[in-house]
Amino acid sequence: MTGTRMAAIQMASGPNVAANLDEAGKLIAAAAADGASLVVLPENFGLIGQSETAKLEHAEPDGSGPQQDYLAAAAARHGIWLIGGSVPIATAGGERVRQRLLVFGPDGGCAAKYDKIHLFDVELDNGETYRESSGIEPGDAVVTLDLPIGRLGLTICYDLRFPELYRQLLDRGAEIFVVPSAFTKATGRAHWEVLLRARSIENLAWTVAPAQGGYHVNGRETWGHTMIVDPWGTVVAERANGNGFVAAEFDRERMEATRRRFPATRHRRLHDSSGEAQ
């Protein structure tokens, strides 16, 4: 498909991979029927277990497994570009996984992979503690991808807090940032919208942010508020609660006009130690 419609799916995934994939399939079909040529699933769409060790139990070898095979088949069945927000991919040592975003094309082939770089190791004021590094091995590669709809910059969840990553994506030509996420309720309420809008505003780019939203069997509550943001920082589509999707047309003309009239990204003067503009 060469359309310009983008869709971001919201879920509240649990520990049953088959049930999660069944729900994801219904939402993918609905988004495709709505005309989306690009559909993006949230982080952990296939599995949110009782603990981080659940990812180890359901880790898939690179290139094959229930979640990867499902994504490939769904992309081909609907003739769309489909992004699985994250799939746990086994590592050589077997003690941790890679939190991997996967992009599948209309032919069912895997077109790109991105391993989450920044891991959520934090202690919140409400007593919640997270240690993603206990079960996840970080990636180190910045990944962009050309699709018929536009050039994507690939990120996952906690990456959103690191603007230097998005500057590197911009320098590689990104026009659309994808940010599949599972923000906690506490951090989402405080920071989700403002961070998404900031990444769009400072880079004059579109941002597509599917999210986990709801209660999970491990006691966690995720924020939801799946949204799509335009290059001026306007939230053009949002779903606060419940399973479903939001969609919007990628408007390259609007983006290019904004970048032309308000060329902030070309006014950058500070550089990092390598001499690259930041």
Active-site position among 23, 43, 137, 175? 43
Give the phi and the psi of residue 268 in degrees, each rounded to 5. Answer: -65, 135
Of residues 135, 205, 212, 133, the one with CA closest to residue 163: 205
Per the annotation, the verdict on 164 as an active-site residue is no
Helix (H, G, I), strand (E, B), or coil: what is residue 100?
Answer: strand
Active-site position among 116, 132, 185, 193? 116
Q: What is the DSSP string of 45-72?
A: TT---SSTHHHHHT-B-TT-SHHHHHHH
Per the annotation, the verdict on 185 as an active-site residue is no
Per the annotation, the verdict on 110 as an active-site residue is no
Tokens describing residue 156: 């996952």
Residues contacting 32, CB < 8 A, separation 6+ = 39, 78, 79, 80
Tokens describing residue 47: 């599995």
Tokens describing residue 228: 């799509």
Active-site position among 23, 132, 157, 185? 157
Q: What is the DSSP string of 197-219?
A: HHHHHHHT-EEEE-BBEEE-TTS
In order of 81, 144, 277, the CA distances from 28 in angstroms are: 11, 23, 38
> What's the rounded Cα separation, in Å, for the pair 153 and 104?
15
Q: Report strand pairing: 206-209 vs 176-178.
A: parallel
Give the phi and the psi of residue 56 in degrees, each rounded to 5. Answer: -65, -40
CA angle, 18 as apex, 15 and 21 as ends, to 5°?
100
Q: What DSSP state is assigned to residue 108?
A: S
Q: Report, as residue numbers or ranges, the catalytic residues.
A: 43, 116, 157
